[in-house]
Structure 1
Amino acid sequence: MLLVTGCGGAFGRVAVPGGAHGDLLPEGAPEATDPIPGAGLYGFARSAAIEYPGAEIRAVDIDPKDRPERIAAHLIAELCSPDEPVAVGYTNGTRNVPRTVPVPLPGGGRPPLPLSRDSVVLLTGGARGITARSALALADATGCHIELIGRTPPPDEVEDPALAHALDRVALRAALVHQGLRTPADIEAAASRVLAAREVRATLEALRRVAASVRYHAADVTDPKAVYAVVADVRARHGRLDGIVHGAGTIEDRLLCDKDPVSFARVFGTKVDGARHLADAAADHGDAPAPEFLVLFGSVAGVFGNRGQADYAAANDALDTLATTPAWSRRFPGRVLAVDWGPWAAEAGGMVTPELERMYANRGVPLIDPDGGTDAFLAELAHGTTGQVVLLAEQPGNGFGGRP
């Protein structure tokens, strides 16, 4: 399988003074625009190569202005090189291969974030998981105003007394059966709603103790009108919006042979369409100051690929492309940053379940400690300059942070 894009041979990235948006594409090469042609194909190809180890799978980015015979020669060469990387690019005959380089995180105590108590930060992904922990870390460090977007409906202030004693999913199932639910699907769905509401309620309570103010918006980031409405409401109440963190995402893991196109679009759209809608809304700031930063939470699945996650890998690879493309940096005057997270410990409430945590342990893959993860995020936000960073748990021979 050969996937070809025409973003100039370096995946749409060009040199920017200070190294803020990648440095692969030589000066004078064509620059990609938004929407980026083929954004996400490299993550898709990496995952496909993992699922089909016997197949020749290549994603090759070329310069469409190059001579046709040279482009053809490059493509044939890649298909005839079974041990080469899955994703490569060619510019003026030069072969580019994206790589990660270990970089130690800056130390020295609490970092000087570009925020104050008067600042306003909007985070998508609801009041749950990694997004919630990041919101708490930002509020604790600066005392800023926190605005949250999530698909989970706002929970009632007080939980149903009949369920309050059921402290985990197993106990909840029994309580829900006692209330009359019978089918496994109904019981699991109801238990998930109760647990999600508990997490949202606990996060909001914790944020109220450290943030200048907290507000939760029930909205879908794939709906551009809903995103614009939330951003307009934030600016109407505060007169400003200083930062955005896009953590919303969904996973519906299936092998490629079992992927449903509608499911693929849902996974891809939550990340990519959500990012575009947020950037559009933030860029239209009128007389208000432009946000200082737009952070896109991604995953190492987009950088390395992952079995059963071709859709999720494609979505996160597309976020990396958007964050490191000058077309976006011009539309959004603040810093645009893609953070590709490694797996977090299950207690963080992210995408890693206790079952996956045990699998990672058996494979010797270290998991990100929740406190260490938020510390790394704040350090990168305060001191980083690149458009993309990979954050992995520290292990011998491998630093916590890495940059492509």
Structure 2
Amino acid sequence: MIEAPGIPLTVIAFLLLLGPLVFIHELGHYLAGRWFGVKADEFSVGFGREIAGFTDRRGTRWKFGWLPLGGYVKFAGDMSPASQPTADWLQLPAAERARTFQAKPLWQRAIIVAAGPFINLALAVLILAGFALAYGQSTTPPVVGAIEPNSAAAKAGVRPGDRIASIGGTGIERFDELKMYAALRPGERVALNVVRDGSVNTLPLTIGTLKQADRWGNAYQIGRIGIGPAEPVWSKVSLVEAPVVGVRRTGEIISMMVDTIGQVITGRRSVKEMGGPLRIAQVSGQQLSLGWPEFVSLIAMISINLGFINLLPVPILDGGHLMFYAVEAVRRRPLGVRAQEWAFRGGLAAILALMLLVTINDLGAFGLWRGIAGLIG
């Protein structure tokens, strides 16, 4: 175990991580709005009181808030949480009203809202494509080489030379896909299909659980089958192939997130594993201390998280707005303002509850609750 990075490096790393990602996210909204002729009144990185900023020639106030945990773009005429026309909006001059968010067709409003999450995903694709171009990619086939004694694979009857066709109903084409599937499912019982002597055999497999700790002492557990590849293969990636690899890896990470959320909802994974801003700050400092490649990899991961989470159909998030736009497209009219406002209040309450939960988890991971218990005891 090595010494953890100090607080100054952790704070710097956190700001270098979150600030650009929030800026990129809001820039997506801003550029899409500008493309469709919507005026932006404010562009803020961070919440709360302004600590620095300027106003450009288009009348947009660019500023930094004192709380660097998010940001926003406030478009002209966006006077209610539901982004619906209000009495104040109707009183605007016609020319000014035409440049407001509410005046735009439904499809343009949807693109403006979706642009933020999608630019985060695009950034991740670009980073992952760059890594693939620089370092290549693993194309190791899922053929079994070594088998660890007393491992999950050994107990299931896996043999050297078996080719893994699928696990838990998921097709396997590369050895990395098998490792990724197992890592997320410690202790789960699944069906493993292997090709042996030209025929497919189905083996019942209980994925093993491996408890690990990183170099900073952070403990976690992963699933492990206990096999190694017959012949590792590492391939170069061309400039044309790199974006395809970036898209595929982004999709794989999103799939992992969906699986993880499903495990938390069904109780197969503890909510204590969920982390928040404090945990992200800690990890960002640790990754920056390892070097820029590791830190940029973390940026890609958090960017995918930011894009994916914002697309969830939760009122107050971008996905919640898109959900209401979908309803509006089907009904040919929007939901009532009051119904939307109540939905947004519920979404805000849910987000605040989640933030409280992950903050409690973060403080627990830092040992605060054990320390308090020790003082009381």
Q: The TM-score by the shorter chain falls in which range?
A: under 0.3
Normalized per residue, the structure richer in helix is 2
Highest Rg: 1 or 2?
Answer: 2
Which has the larger share of strand?
2
